Structure formats: structure tokens, C-alpha cells
Amino acid sequence: MYFITILLDSKFTFISLILMKWKYDIKPNSDEAVINVFQSLLRLKALYRQGWLQREVPAEKTESVADHSFGIAMLALLLCPPELNKLKVLEIALLHETGECIIGDLTPWDNFTEEEKSRMELDAVEEILTQLPDGKRLISLWKEFEYETSEEGKFVRQLDKLEMGLQAEVYKKLGFDEAKALIKSAHQKVSDEGLNKYLTKG
């Protein structure tokens, strides 16, 4: 099904319609904070990664945002260096796409600047996580990823690009030639040599 999000930004006074393709619809069914947040986050299981759809990967083969977050969390578990706080890395990996359960998976085709996208995502993250008793701490962890203000946040940002490249390799093997460009992009964006070595040459 398709999901339309209307984004109104009072500061810049614009309204944008975002058309997202979802696998199915999941709606919160409880007023309790923990259940509400959990049900909200379950929407990520139903949200296709839009960039793959835009590159003509068929929906039945397209990963969800939750698939992507799981991939990053597994990479964090397997590759986290000993000098970093692994629990913190795992928390950041699981939280980093939280805002997308409200604003959707925005891509460059949606014509938002990075600043606009980041601001909208922060608003969404705060809307969701402030319901929780430790919401401020979780929001702070998300910010460490978004703004790369800690070594753990920077590491997860690198894993985000690595996971994209590894997923692109899967699609390349399935015959989707456009994936080659994203493998090349991942090589350029994964600056950590210890992580870059896991990518093929495209």
C-alpha cells in the first residue's frame, strides 16, 4: 500500500507531500507509553527502503527499514572494536532510523536538503521517544549518530554506509546493475579501512 505523509514546517512555511510505499499498515493499539513506542517502531518493518524501489528493485525483494537496522545491529555486534562501548553502539544502531516511522524513508529524490531532513527527523524522534522514562537519554544517543558527536556515533554512521554497500552486493548478484553505483559509493563513504575491506570492488 502507499502512505502519504504531509510535512508542515512553520519556520520555512512549506508543505510537502511524501508518497511512500509500505508493505502493510500497522497502527498503535495501546495508550501505554512503552507499547505505543514499540508499535510505532514496528512501522519500520513495513516501510520499504525507498532508494531500492527507485532503482527498480521489485517490492518483493526490497529490504525494509527494519531489515536495514537489523543488519547494522548485527554488523555492530560482529565488528565493534574493543575500545568502543558495544552496548552503546548497539543502542545507537537500533535507534538510528526511529524518525522514519513518522516521516518515512526520505531520499534525494524527495528534494529536501540534509538540514531540512535532519530537522524533520529530530522532531519525529523527539515526538516518539519523549514518551519514555529514559527518552532524553535515547534521544541523546540518536543525536550522537546524526551529528557524529561520539566515537560510537561515528562508528555506527560508518556501519550505515557499509550495510548499504553489502546490501547492494546482494542486489548486484540478483542482476540489478544499478546496485554497482551504490557499491562504489559505499567504498567512497566508508573511510574506516577496517570496515572498507568487507566491500567488493563493485
Q: What residues contact 156, with CB distance under 8 A and at least 6 apart?
A: 72, 76, 89, 92, 93, 96, 145
- In the block, which residue shows the cell 563513504? 189
CA-CA distance, 148 to 171, in Å (whole number)?
29
DSSP β-ladder status, 14-21 and 2-9: antiparallel
pLDDT, position 13 = 36
Phi first, then psi, for residue 32 (nearest 5°) are -70, 140
Measured CA to CA in angstroms, residue 1 lies from 19, 42, 142, 172 at distances of: 10, 16, 29, 26
pLDDT, position 32 = 84
Looking at domain 32-196, which CATH architecture does it have? Orthogonal Bundle (1.10)
pLDDT, position 21 = 63
In 3D, which of 102, 84, 192 has the Cα closest to residue 144?
Answer: 84
pLDDT, position 38 = 95
pLDDT in tens, 120-152: 999 999 999 999 999 999 999 999 999 999 999
Give the pLDDT of the chain (202 residues) as one tens digit per residue. Answer: 444 444 444 443 344 445 566 565 554 443 589 999 999 999 999 999 999 999 999 999 999 999 999 999 999 999 999 999 999 999 999 999 999 999 999 988 888 999 999 999 999 999 999 999 999 999 999 999 999 999 999 999 999 999 999 999 999 999 999 899 999 999 999 999 999 999 986 5
Would you kindly state where each structural domain of the chain is located, as residue ranges?
32-196
136 CB neighbour count, 10 Å cutoff: 12
pTM of structure? 0.84
